[in-house]
Amino acid sequence: MRSIGEMGRDSGLGVSALRFYDRAGVLVPAWVDPVTGYRWYAPEQFGEARLLARLRRSGMPLADIRLVLAGWAGGDTGLVPRLLDGHLRRLERGLADAREELSTVRALLGHKETSMTTATAGTRLTVPGSELAAALDAVRHAAGTDPELPVLGGIHFDIEGDALHLVATDRYRMAVARTPTAGHGGGRIQVTVPTPLADAMRALLTGEAPARLTVDGGKVELETEGRQAAGQSLGEDFPDYRRLTRLPGGRRLTLDVPALRRALGEQDGEVCVLALTDTVAVGDDDAAGDRVGVNPAFLLDALAVGDELLLEYIGPKAPLVLLRPDVEDAFSLLMPVSLEA
């Protein structure tokens, strides 16, 4: 017999998924301990679990998966191939439809005039070195690394008036930080700094000395205490992060950040459950209150900015918002992970 943890690890489904498929009647454990409720699986169920994992990765609907598993267990040699062929045809039709729609979107983008203000020549401003360092530290973890989306592989500098906002996102999370500036005070200027250059800038900011930021066309330079880091910005337009952060208000909960860090450090999977009552704690599928799935490593990154944080909870499928109570427009967004997939 395999425990639910062993079955989740060996089959690739995960413990939360196995609990879901048990409740759905798709893969019911061979025995459940009547005292502890712990689930145990028979040896022959391992093959079914591996098959189930492959079918789910292919995107097959749950109703069809039930029939495939029933046909598999019953030795039906005709039903299963027909179900697989039917699912493949649906995927091919969906891909053809998606290609057509995306081609239309590309054509529309080709005719759309961007309203983003580009960097003007010779823009110079002064930034407090320690505050710029803190802002870079607050957003660096969210920068993307996907080579297919190079524009997300940097930190976006958004200068407007006397404020500089730094933004980074890899699609699954976003971090925004703010620092004051002097010497600009004009219209909006935006430039995306590649992460290697942003890291070189951060390495210069070791003290309280102010830093001079210069944007000249596609060139970006930071100078402080006689040392410089300079390079070319990323050429593509960064997504409109202001639009992405227009979220309805939610329930705000104070986080016990040290305790949450310790609990998250004990998680060894890619998904964990947060239980939200009057507080926020790492729980399980049976925990009281609202339950939301998160990537524990991503949440740990977002918690690194300080020990005093709030969590704004909008709903199980809406981004989680982590806020600093002492800073108005510095926050992180974290996309939840489905507990039913």
DSSP-derived secondary structure for 216-264: ETTEEEEEETTEEEEEEPPSSPPP-HHHHT-----EEEE--HHHHHHHH
Per the CB < 8 A criterion, the answer to whether 176 and 329 are in contact is yes
Predicted pLDDT at 55: 92
Q: Which residues pair with 337 in a beta bridge?
A: 293
In this prediction, residue 112 carries a pLDDT of: 58
**206-234 pLDDT per residue, tens:** 988 999 999 998 899 999 999 999 999 99
Residues 139, 160: Cα–Cα separation, whole Å:
19
Per-position pLDDT tens, the chain of length 341? 989 889 988 888 888 788 888 888 889 999 999 888 889 999 989 999 999 999 988 999 888 998 888 888 776 667 888 889 999 999 999 999 998 888 888 888 776 544 444 444 578 999 999 999 999 999 999 999 998 889 899 999 999 988 999 999 999 999 999 999 998 877 889 999 999 999 999 999 998 899 999 999 889 999 999 999 999 999 888 989 988 888 888 899 999 999 999 999 888 778 888 999 888 998 766 667 888 989 999 999 999 988 899 999 998 889 999 998 887 778 999 999 887 65
Task: Please answer whether residues 162 and 189 qualify as being in contact, where contact means their C-beta atoms are separated by less than 8 angstroms.
Answer: no
Rg (CA), the chain: 25
Cα–Cα distance, 108 to 204 (Å, whole number): 43
Label the pairing between strands 290-294 and 189-194: unpaired
Report the pLDDT value the prediction gives residue 341, as an integer from 0 to 100.
53
- What pLDDT, on a 0 to 100 scale, did the predictor assign at position 114? 45
Number of H helices, E strands in the chain: 10, 18
What pLDDT does 107 receive?
81
User: What is the pLDDT at residue 113?
Assistant: 46
pLDDT of the residue at 286: 65
Largest CA distance in the chain: 77
How high is the pLDDT of residue 339? 76
pLDDT in the model for residue 197? 96
- Going across the sheet that includes 320-323, the strands are 189-194, 154-160, 163-169, 173-180, 331-334, 320-323, 310-313, 251-254
Could you tell me which residues are beta bridge partners of residue 294?
272
